[in-house]
Amino acid sequence: MTAQAGTTDFTDAGATETMGFNGAFLRPTLRAARGEKVAVNVTNQLAEPTSVHWHGMHLPAAMDGGPHQFRTSNSRPAGSCHCGISATK
């Protein structure tokens, strides 16, 4: 997954600057069966730090995104990381 900037037209007023993964806004939906091992490569192409919150997945706090992860390699601009996740619920 690549965090990147873009623009999105939400209304007739014109484009709004947005951020997303593999596109200008949100995406993608990742699906895994309980117990399945998931490997995700995350690259940050934003000009600022970022982290990933894995909505709906039960993970250790250190892997679930937030300001405490800004010091990891994937959060820095042009940084990337490999995330190994196990779907538990």
Class at the top of the CATH hierarchy for domain 1-7+34-89: mainly beta
Going residue by residue through the chain (89 aa), what tens digit of pLDDT does each one get? 888 999 999 888 889 999 999 988 877 888 888 888 878 888 888 888 887 777 777 777 777 776 666 544 455 565 666 566 655 55
pLDDT at 70: 53
Tokens in use for 75? 């959060």
pLDDT at 24: 87
Tokens in use for 16? 């709004």
Every domain of the chain and the residues it spans: 1-7+34-89
pLDDT at 80: 64
pLDDT at 7: 93
- Helix (H), strand (E), coil (C) string for 18-36: EEEECCCCECCCCCCCCCC
Q: Is the pTM of this model over 0.75?
A: no
